[in-house]
Each structure stands twice: as C-alpha cells, then as structure tokens.
Structure 1
Amino acid sequence: MNLANLIFSSADVFKIISVDNQTDQINIYVQSRQKICLCPNCCEPSTKLHSYYTRKFNDLPTFGKSCRIFLKSRKYHCLTDECPLKIFTERYENHFQPCKRTTKRLEDKLFNTALELGGKPAERICCHFSIPVSDTTLLRLINRAPLPAPGVFTAIGVDDWAYKKRERYGSILVDLTTRRVVDLLPDREEESLITWLEKQPKLEVITRDRYGKYKRAATKGAPQAIQVTDRWHLLKNLGEALTKMMTREYARLTRSLAPRIEESPVEIPEELPIREKELATTGIIRRRFDEMKKLQAEGLSIKAIARQLGMHRETVRKYMLTENLVRKSYKDRGMIENYFNYIKKRMEEDDGLYLKTLWSELRHMGYPGGYSTLSEALAYYGIRIGKKARNPKTQQHSGSFFKPSNAAMLFLTSENRLTATQKKLIDKLCKSSCGLERALVLVRDFRNLMENKLGNQLQGWIENVLHSGISEMATFANGLLRDYQSIENAIRLPWSNGPVEGNVNKLKTIKRQMYGRASFDLLRKRLVLKPT
C-alpha cells in the first residue's frame, strides 16, 4: 500500500517525501501537489508562485511515538489588482488550518478528551498516549469553541443545580427527546427562563419540579406548552406529609403498642454486661426542645423561634407538631451479639486481651464490622477489653417502638414489596389509629393513580383527602390544587423529569472534578458540547 494512503486519504493532494523514525518521535516530510490556489480574500485562483516555507504540525501518535509533520508549503501572488492581499499562503481544506500548530484530526481528539476529562486529567491521559500537550492548551480549545445555535425543541425539562448549596443556584435545560443538555442558565430566576423559552415557539411540553418561579416562567414564556410536574417530587412531598403525621401520632402509639410488639430480647450470657440505651431525649437535644416549647407557648412564629435558637425552620415545625420529643430508633439486635459467647471465652482466657487482637480473631470468624464498629458496639454494652476489664452490672435495655420517617416510607412502598415484619407493623399502626388507617388507604390510592395513569380520578382523590380529617394530608392536597393541571398531566402523560435529574448528577460530577475553580462558561461548554 502507498505510504501516502496510510497517512492521508486518496483524495488528498499531499505527497510523502520521507519519513524519519527517531527514538521517541516520528517526523514525516510532506509536500503539497496543488496546482492552483485560491486567494482567501477575493477567492480568485492564482498560479504565480512567490516562495516556499516550512510549516510544522503535531499529529496523532504513530506506533506509540509522537508524530510531527513537516509541510513544505507555498506562497502565491494574488493576480487581482484591486485585492489588498498581494501575497497569500497556500490553503488546505481538511487537514491543516491557518495559524495552527496541530493537525485538524489531532485537535478534534484533544477537544473531545478535554470535554470528557477537563484540563489536568486530560493532560495526564494524553501524555500516556504520546501526545505532549498542556492543560492550558486543552482548556483553550474548549473556551474557543463556539456554542451551537439554539435548536428548535418540542419537549424540554428544567431543574436547578447548586453553585454552592443553599446559597447560589443555576438552571439546567435538557432536551427530553435526546436526553442531552441544551443549555445552562446562570441563575434560577423567572426572567432568565422566560427569555430562553420565548425563543422556542414550537415547544409543546415542559417538565419541572414544583418550584414556583419555574411554574410562572413556563406559563409566561411558553403559554402554548403543557406543563408536567415531576412525579418523584410528588411522592416525596406525600412522604413528608406522612412523616409529619407519624411524628404527631408517635408518642401515643409508642405508649400503647411498644410493649406488645417489642421483639424478644437478645440472649446474652449473664456475665456479660448490658447497658440501657441512651436516648436522644437527653442532653442538648432535650434542652433545645424544651426551649422551643417555651417560645411556642409565648406565641412566637416558626421563623422567630428558628432565628432565636439557631435551628432549622423544618426542625422547629416538626417539634411544634408533637408534645413529646421523638427519640432515636436503634436496632435491638446487632452484628456483635452473635459473637458474645466467643468474646466471653476470650475474656476468661486472657485478662490482657487487646481489642485489636479480638477484632482480628472475629474477622476470621466472619464478623463483617470494622474495628471502630466493634469498639463502639462493645462500649455500648459496657464491655471493656484490656488489662482493666470489668463487668459492671447494668439493667436490660429496651428499644423504641418505631421511627416516624421509616414508618412513612413503609406506607409509600408497594404492598407486594413489603416483608412480613413490615406488614405486621403497618397492621398494628392502622389498628391503633383510625387516622393512619385512612392515610394508608389514601396513599395506596394515590400510588394506584400514578402507576395506572388515572389522571382523570385525581380530583376525586383530592376531595376524599379534604374530607378525611387528616390535616397533614389536607395540606398536601391543597398544594396539589394550586398546581392541579400540571400534576394531572404528570399522572396522565408518560413525560418525566428523570432525564433532567440524571444530567444534574452528571453536572455535579463535572463541577466537583473542576474543584470549583472554573468559570460558568467552561462548565456550560463542557455539558452542552459534550459528545454523545
């Protein structure tokens, strides 16, 4: 095969003069075979040669070595008298561009590598593949690349992303048809999104979360498009309402039911000490709860209490709904209980047993926990390992009945995915509380609407909730009425904000990879220009 066809295609007008194979580099000497060249200013052909000069280009590596092309190029006289450009250099369409020091094919590879990896990582990868390049050069390729002209989209998803969580936010726009990022906005304000949407006259669908500014921007910027709320956020909001209800019912249900469904105690040898669990209702949490209740009794608002005590408003709101502080939920059985007999035996055999030695022995026996986990577990039960090991007498411990957030998640979970123990817990809750029994029916009805796309039954479900007498669920239902049409579309239509959430995750990965030191423009180009 001709050597020129290995480096260039048969349609290219280049002639290989020679190849110099050095220790760490291959030099290829090339000459052009063009007979006529067009003036770049007046586009008139010229055959009048002025002179020769040599251009040097870095090319893709060859046989594991960096490659360099030496092109013998020419200068021509422009034959047009009116043209201000009297002398011009030879031009090439595909491989070599004016004022460049790399071939076009190498620059394309470097550009795509920089989009995928960034500056420093791309530099290290390129050096492994015998392409000497700096991170500054790679980033310069991205910064010089123009953003594509805004296309015409029919379905767009929008969501926010954080420069810094709880302080600064931007917006991401994703084409739901191709699932690609089409643009980033520097903020999540209403005016910015309206300006972008007004340039999309053929937009038919907009998916979004329940953020108020996105709702108003979609209504004003694209009134012809239907809006679809994200279904995951609907379930999340429903779960939050259930958690508030569980928190309100927690104290009464724990007192009435905990003794009856408590699991059988762990069988531990009498010689091994057992310590009563420390509750979350002691210490600083208890004091802050009491202070909050005093301020609540004085009639202060949630915002005023949060500001005065330095607490989050959601924490204050949760505490205001209950009269008793919810304590932490611990498992009655842990990994360490299965090894109590062996621990007892080793403590009797060796008074100076070290914890590190015991942990190594338990690991060989199949104990999956780490060193710190073992240390905390033994301290929890009051077991001291070492030369001064003692067996203090303590009382039997007992766990709390249930955790409100976990119970709320069980209500939201499909019935066919619940275990027998979880079903038993739900039955006990429903039998002891008419409100929780009604809430379970309503929650499962709502999941049925979403799974079977029964958007036409949403209005009837909301009316049932408003007449159920459950204040937390009624608050959730009133929120649905404020954005009813988009929520009905979410239940009825197949569109989802899932592709947007996936691209937000990609954005977070790239942003953290850049260590927060890059500009918004660079982040925008890395997402919009990123190849599929």
Structure 2
Amino acid sequence: MFSGLSALVVEGVTGERGVIRVTARIREDPVPCPVCGTPTGRVHGFHHRTVADVPVDGRRVVVSARLRRLVCPVLGCSRQTFREQVPGVERYQRRTTRLPDQLGSVVKELSGRAGARLCRVLACYVSRSTALRVLMRQALPPPRVPRVLGVDDFALKRRHRYATALIDAETGERIDVLPDCTTQTLVAWLREHPGIEYVCRDGSGSYSEAIRQALPEAVPVSDRWHLWSNLCGKVLAEVRSHAVCWATVVNPARPGGMREQTTRERWHQVHKLLGQGVGLLECARRLDVALNTVKRYARMTEPTAERRAPRYKPTLVDPYRDHLRRRRAEDPAVPVTHLLREIKELGCTGSANLLVRYITQGRAEGGKPVTTPQRFARLLLTHPENLRDKDTALLRELSAACPEITELACVTGKFAQLLTPAEGNDTKLTDWITSVRSVDLPHLHSFSNGLQLDRDAVDAGLTLPFHNGRTEGVNTRTKRIMRQMHGRAGLPLLRHRILLRGPLHSATTDYGPEPRS
C-alpha cells in the first residue's frame, strides 16, 4: 500500500475524513554532506516535512516525516549543518515522485482546468496552475531525424496565423512544431537536421521552396489526397459551367428560374453599355452593381445558365400530385378550393396554404427536380462500384448531355486509377495531361498546368508509397487539443502537448477515404 515510502520508517497511520495521515521518520543511517561528501550521523536537530502521496481507497494520503539536521564533521566545510532529504521526494517538492507521474498522465491528456477537475475526482487536489507546471515539467522525447518527413500546416488562428507540424511519415511520431509556415523557418530547421531522404507535403509553394533550398537531394512527395481534392474542385467547376447542357436532360420542360433570367438580363445590359463605349466603372454606377460583377459579365462570351435544384421538403400533398396534375391539365382554371376539397375527400390532411404553396412552386406539374452541380460532381467522383443502380442510370443520362461532360467523366476515372501508387504511373500521367489538353475543359487545363509546375513531386506521389495521411491525423488531434484549451494557452504549451503524444496507432495511420470510394 505504501511501497513508495519503503525508505521511511512508518510509525503510525490514522484515517480521518477523506484523508489518510501517515507518520514516519527517516532511518538513522549516516548521510553524506552535500558539499564535501563526508558521511555523518551527528544530529544537530529535527524538523518535520509534509508531502502528499498517491491516493489510497479514494482518499488522499498525507505523509508527515520527521527529518534530521546533521552536522558536517569537516571543520573547513562551507556547510556546517544540513538537512537530509526525504527519499523518493525531490528537493523543494511537496509530493512524492510517483504522484507527479500519475498527475502527468492526466494533465497530458486534459491540460489545466479539465485536468485539475479530474484530479479532484481521483483524490489528487491540484490547481490548474499546478497542473500546467506538472505538464510543462515533463521531458519531451529526444529529437531525431526521420527518413521520411511529413510536413503540413495547421491554423493557430484561422486565416491569420498558422504553424507547421513535422512528423515521421512512416511511424506517425511527432518530430517538432514550428511557430509559423514560412520558408525561412522551415529552411533553418531542415539545415539543422540533415539526413532526410523523402519529404511528404501538399502543394504549398513555401514548403516546396524550403525543401529545394535546404534539401536539394531529398525527394519531394506530393500528397495524393490533396491531388484528388484539387481535382474535385475543378470537376465541380466544369459541371457548373456546363449546367445549360445537363440541367435540361432530366426535365426539359422546366424553366431556368429567376436566377437564370436575371443573369441573362444583366449580361445583356452590361454588353449593351459596353457596346456603346461606356467604361466598366460607369457601367457599375448605372446598373448599381459592384465593379467586379461588371468585369465578370464582361468576360463572358454568353450568359451562363446555372440551374439549381429546388430543395423541397416532403409535404402532405405529395401523395396526391398525380391527381392535381390531371385536374389542372383538364381545367387550367380550376379553383384551389375545389382542388383542396377533392384531395381532402381522398384523405389529405393538409391546409389550403400548404396547397397554394405547393402549386405556386410548380411542384404539381414538375417532374423530377433538376439535380444540383454538387450531386452531379459527386456521382462523377464516386467509384462506379459504390453507386446505386438509380445513381448509375442518372450519371449515364447526365454524362451523355454533351461531349465535354462525357470527356470529363472519362478523364476523371483515368486520374483516379493513377492514385494507387505503382511503377509507370508517371508515364500514364503524361498521357493523361495530353488527353486533357486536347478537350475543351478549361478548368482541368489549369489543374494539369499545376501538375506540370510540380511534376517531380507529383510523379513521386503517384509512384512511391509515402503519403501525408499521418500528418493530417496529427493535425486533427491538434484541433482537439486546441478546443480543450479554448485559445487561452500559447504556442509553447500547445507544442509541448503535441510532442508528448506518442505515434499514431496502426489503425489510424491512413488519413481520409480512399479516392473515388
């Protein structure tokens, strides 16, 4: 029970209300002088020292030890008297060495306030300041140079301040945390830690420049998840730009809506004024719109027609839509009150206002609603084996809307196959870029140009098994740590907590879903 006090002679144990008090004394053995090292057992006096030990039976343990003040036998020694220390207790501390070890495990996970609250439940009463001191007193693991380094940034204050996390991309072990994400800071760190062979990173220009300056012989590896994420954004932009083609495939009779009509009218107004020689700024003043809006319409060769799907919620009138459609086709002037009476006889419990809104929104005559660009892009980016039968049919119908959409579906599937690392993917990527540039997909052209600018790293990412998934996992756990501290702590404490955590488990090493899953 009191194994940590084996160096003391326990004279008595008393149990009070929530506290166990242990009375002990030091063994009467000679103690060396802290200055000259001469052993002595000559007692000058006594004093008492009170320290806390690990709880027992859910109650605090307080040890009151009687210590000796000894006299140094050497006449010329600078320390004539000295006090002996309690075994198992550091100098100037009021806790045994095993109690801070237990507290350290708690505060490493919960930090200050939350750690102090849990310690009180465990019968270890400490303040939040003491909990932080126990946390900061824990030694960090010795730094080492990994073979494969993972580099990624995380937000200290979103859109304002960012820091850089460095980990071992093979094991997930935290290596270091840099206070910013600038090129100079990363260059200085890399030059102080030579020996890195591979560096996994995203498409950040500052990181790529730092690697080029500090580690010219290291192989930069572009993260495949970021490549796929960038492609997803470009595919969505292409889908939106071709909404005129595919939006009418599902429901040709449906009008474009007020958004499309307003866009077309404003496009004609802008180009009419520009044709009369009116400047861009004067156009903005006359039309009462922003200058950037006028510039965007001026760059358009023809008005866009993005059609959005109405986000209707299920109503009580939906089961009777066929009856309403048939009655309005027979008699377009039929009053709403007659329709309401007829569907009530069929069992509808809705109100007149609900029926009026249902008819006004065009839901009585409309067929399937027009799908959204987001959903269409998601169908294009999902693996065909993971699509339902109706989604597969819808994707086949939408992809045949125009040749560009057909080519978009084809090149998207080919790029997804390259995301599985294999030899020869760099050659296939060259063929893929050539095929993309031969079709009229301007957003994918910009994506392919970006791949060419970082071609060495992209080739390494598509052929080597290394990735930045473990770094992203560390960033996810860092966000949880920052939420625990609610922004009250600075970077030193955050860095200490990040580096104290061990490597990620094997079950959580891969970051995010597989592409097209």
TM-score under structure 2 normalisation? 0.78
Partner of 2:147: 154
Paired residues of 2:221 and 2:467 also in contact (CA < 8 A)? yes
Residue aligning to 1:365: none
Note the 1:437-452 alignment, pairs <5 A: 437-451=406-420
TM superposition shift of 1:211: 0.7
The 1:99–1:452 alpha-carbon spacing in structure 2 relative to 1, beyond 3 Å, is closer
Offset at residue 182 of structure 1 (A)? 2.6
> What per-residue deviation string (whole Å, max 9, x for no partner) do you get for residues 119-146 of structure 1?
2211221122222221121112223445
Q: Runs of 5+ in structure 1 lacking a partner?
A: 1-5, 263-275, 350-357, 359-377, 385-389
Counterpart pick for 2:444 among 462, 473, 478: 473
Deviation at 1:393, TM superposition (A): 5.9
- Tell whether 2:170 aligns with 1:177: yes
Letter of the 1:232 partner, please give it.
W
How far does residue 460 in structure 1 lie from its aligned partner after superposition?
Answer: 2.5
Q: Which segment is superposed worse, 209-218 or 26-35?
A: 26-35
Determine if contact 1:16/1:30 at 8 Å carries over to the other structure: yes
Deviations 1:95-131 (A, max 9, x none): 2111011111111222221121122211221122222
Q: 1:216 offset after TM fit, Å? A: 0.9
Equivalent residues of 1:13, 1:34 under 8 A apart: no
Q: CA deviation at 1:149?
A: 4.0
Q: Per-residue deviation at 1:429?
A: 2.9
Aligned partners of 1:44 and 1:18: how far apart in 2? 32
> Tell me, what secondary structure is at the counterpart of 2:44?
strand
- TM score, norm. by length of structure 1: 0.76
Partner of 1:329: 309
Residues 421-475 of structure 1 deviation map (CA, whole Å, 9 limit, x = unaligned): 2222322233222122222222111111112524332222222222334222221
Q: Structure 1 residues 30, 407: closer, same or farther in 2, change over 3 A?
A: same
Deviation at 1:235, TM superposition (A): 0.6
Cα displacement (A) at 1:186 = 1.6
Partner of 1:259: 251
1:69 aligns with 2:88: no
CA–CA distance in structure 2, aligned partners of residues 289 and 84 of structure 1: 94
- What residue in structure 1 maps to residue 335 of structure 2? none
What is the distance in 2 between the residues matched to 1:322 and 1:429? 22
Call closer, same or farther: CA 1:391–1:253 in 2, change over 3 Å.
closer
Q: 1:189 aligns with which of 182, 190, 203?
A: 182
Structure 2 residue 494 is the aligned partner of structure 1 residue 528? no
Distance in structure 2 (CA, Å) of the matches to 1:250 and 1:477: 23
Partner of 1:15: 9
Q: 1:393 to 1:179 in 2, by over 3 A?
A: closer
Displacement of 1:164 in angstroms is 1.9
Q: Check whether the contact 1:8–1:14 (CA below 8 A) recurs between aligned residues.
A: no
Q: Distance in 2 between matches of 1:402 and 1:216?
A: 43
Residues 162 and 168 in structure 1, CA contact (< 8 A), matched pair in contact too:
yes
Amino acid at match of 2:149: I
- SS of the equivalent of 1:58 reads strand
Residue 432 of structure 2: aligned partner? 461
Equivalent AA in structure 2 for residue 487 of structure 1: V
Equivalent residue for 1:394, pick from 352, 357, 360: 360
- Confirm whether residue 487 of structure 1 aligns to residue 487 of structure 2: no
Distance 1:288 1:87 in 2: 94
Instruction: Assess, with a 3 A threshold, how the Cα gap between structure 1 residues 309 and 87 changes in structure 2: closer, same or farther.
Output: farther
Q: Which moved more, 1:161-170 or 1:428-437?
A: 428-437
Q: Deviations over 1:341-380 (max 9, x none)?
A: 9xx89x969xxxxxxxx9xxxxxxxxxxxxxxxxxxx89x
Return 5+ residue gaps in structure 2 as ranges.
322-339, 504-517
CA contact (8 A) 2:55 2:122 kept: yes
Q: 1:86 aligns with which of 80, 91, 98?
A: 80
* TM superposition shift of 1:404: 2.2
Question: Deviation of residue 49 (structure 1)?
Answer: 3.3
Q: Say which SS state the counterpart of residue 27 (structure 1) adopts.
A: strand
**Corresponding residue to 2:220 among 227, 233, 244:** 227
- 2:27 corresponds, among 28, 33, 41, to 33
In the TM superposition, what are the counterparts of 1:46-65 in structure 2 within 5 Å?
Answer: 46-65=40-59
1:318-339 Cα offsets, whole Å, 9 max, x none, are x969822524323567376667
Q: 2:400 is paired with a residue of what secondary structure?
A: helix
Question: Residue 198 of structure 1: SS of its match in structure 2?
Answer: helix
Q: 1:401 to 1:55 in 2, by over 3 A?
A: same
| Alpha-carbon shift at residue 258 of structure 1 (Å) | 3.3
Distance, in Å, in 2 between the alignment partners of 1:492 and 1:166 is: 33
- List aligned pairs for 1:99-498, cutoff 5 A: 99-255=92-248, 257-259=249-251, 309=290, 323-330=303-310, 334=314, 382-383=353-354, 394=360, 396-397=362-363, 398=366, 401-451=370-420, 453-454=422-423, 455-456=425-426, 457-498=428-469
User: Per-residue deviation at 1:47?
Assistant: 3.5
**1:384-422 alpha-carbon deviations (Å, 9 max, x no partner):** 8xxxxx889636334653322322222221111122222
Separation in 2, partners of 1:248, 1:391: 31
Task: Supply the AA of the counterpart residue of 1:443.
Answer: T
Instruction: Answer yes or no: is the 8 Å Cα contact 1:172–1:183 preserved in 2.
Output: yes
Give the residue type in structure 1 aligned to 2:463: R
